[in-house]
Amino acid sequence: MLDPSPQAEIAVIVAARDAETTLPETLGSLLDQTLAGWEALVVDDGSRDATGAIAAEIAGRDQRVRLLETTGVGAGAARNLALEQAEATWVLFLDADDRLTPDALERLHARAGAAPRADVVHGRWRFVLPDGEELPPQPLAPDEPFPVLARTDPFAIHACLQRRELLLALGGFDSSLVTCEDWDLFQRMARAGARFASVDRLVALYRLRGGSAMSMTNRLARDAVTVIERGHRADPRVPEPDARYEAGADPAGLGEAVLMTAAWIAALAIGRGARFEEVLAAVGEAHEAALDPAAVADSVADALPRGVPCPPSLWPELWLTAARPVGELLDALQEIARAPGLAGRAGAALERRALERAAPRDLTAIGRMAAMELELAAPTADVALPDGVEKL
């Protein structure tokens, strides 16, 4: 049995429910850390499978791991329970189906030591498909993130160290949120003037799979709108806000932020094989907004493969079933935003984005656009375009 570290520098909190298939790999990534000075609090949140037994077995082998139990209170409340019992200065929240890179805690803790006034230290992360394929790393979030957090969440929670004292002062997670509770907490920390520091290293792997909280698209839309609306007004839950963010983001941008998020979640729903209408209904009354067609295209191009989930290289196959519902989505956004011409311009931009992400070697068509790889130094034969294609 491995004795606990004399003083844990990081508390890793794992809220787990019915996670028997993924928890061993998640905790294995923690046991493999090059930094030994950590404690882990695994909260079995009313599991009906072997989650608790797996955590108990690992805790029996390594005294740095503790098992807590709740009765299905939800991820936010389960994390709050562990947060109260943690002892380390720094906290990292690790979902029960995600992983850390072997040197993640070492790199994040070293960055915290180099930036002693920091309250949040964050690194890079990437999505992992069900077959194990790793997608390119996501870009680093800015170190002054409140303007972004008022609109969207650029962080993966397990790619971040957070100062426990600040989390407690802000009341921890909002347990009324089923999804987006981590986004809400980051937004409050940034509004409170928390200092963010980044490390340009891959530290976290985010597993894409069906059945996760991200697949509850209707609830995701409602919770996301709640967080966005909070970001565009004063938030009484933050007792001493940074003067720059006390009133929130400019309310004039609220409509655009809501509709762009709705477009992303609706595309996620289409990828899941679901209808998108309830997602748009969840955003409430119409929000007239000057939406950028290119931004709408980027949002749909990002979310749709993630909903399946599949790699961007499969866009041509995905388009065969997604073209019609995506077109209907763009028409609906045009009507809600009262933005004539949005659907056509966003659709054309999406076709280009999809081909760019698919990067086909042979002639491939998506909608009215086609692409292929050419060797510019060699002669090129005539190209016969498929019916309906207008651009190559």
* Dist CA 296 CA 318 (whole Å): 18
* Dist CA 247 CA 147 (whole Å): 12
Q: Is 194 within the bounds of a domain?
A: yes
The CATH number assigned to the domain holding 104 equals: 3.90.550.10
Domain match, 69 and 163 both: yes
Helix-helix angle 315-337:342-358, to 10 degrees = 160
| pLDDT for 192 | 98
Domain match, 25 and 137 both: yes
Domain count, the chain: 2
**Where among 175, 203, 220 does a domain terminate?**
220
Domain match, 126 and 263 both: no
| pLDDT for 41 | 98
Q: Is 380 within the bounds of a domain?
A: no
Q: Is 114 within the bounds of a domain?
A: yes
| DSSP letter for each residue of 238-256 | -SS--TTTTT-S-GGGHHH
Domain match, 169 and 280 both: no
Domain match, 45 and 142 both: yes
pLDDT, tens digit only, all 392 positions of the chain: 444 445 789 999 999 999 999 999 999 999 999 999 999 999 999 999 999 999 999 999 999 999 999 999 999 999 999 999 999 999 999 999 999 999 999 999 999 999 999 999 999 999 999 999 999 999 999 999 999 999 999 999 999 999 999 999 999 999 999 999 999 999 999 999 999 999 999 999 999 976 554 458 989 999 999 999 999 999 999 999 999 999 999 999 999 999 999 999 999 999 999 899 989 988 766 567 889 999 999 999 999 999 999 999 999 999 999 999 999 999 999 999 889 999 999 999 999 999 999 999 999 999 999 999 988 888 888 888 889 999 99
Sign of CA dihedral 197, 199, 203, 208: positive
Locate tokens 């209408």: which residue?
277
Tell me if residue 220 falls in helix, strand or coil: helix
Tokens representing residue 351 in the block = 């076709």
* Dist CA 166 CA 6 (whole Å): 24
Burial (Cβ within 10 Å: 0-12, 13-18, ≥19) of residue 99? buried
pTM of the predicted model, to two decimals? 0.93
Contacts for 58 with CB less than 8 Å, ≥ 6 apart: 24, 27, 31, 42, 65
Locate tokens 């029960």: which residue?
96
Domain match, 186 and 306 both: no
Q: Is 390 within the bounds of a domain?
A: no
Q: Is 383 within the bounds of a domain?
A: no
Q: Is 314 within the bounds of a domain?
A: yes
Q: Is 306 within the bounds of a domain?
A: yes
Domain match, 210 and 128 both: yes
Domain match, 356 and 258 both: yes
* Dist CA 288 CA 333 (whole Å): 10
Domain match, 20 and 125 both: yes
Question: At residue 176, what is the residue type?
Answer: S
**Where among 178, 204, 220 does a domain terminate?**
220
Domain match, 58 and 171 both: yes
Domain match, 255 and 213 both: no
Q: Is 206 within the bounds of a domain?
A: yes
DSSP state letter for 25: H
* Dist CA 229 CA 233 (whole Å): 7
Domain match, 97 and 36 both: yes
Full domain range(s) for residue 291: 250-366
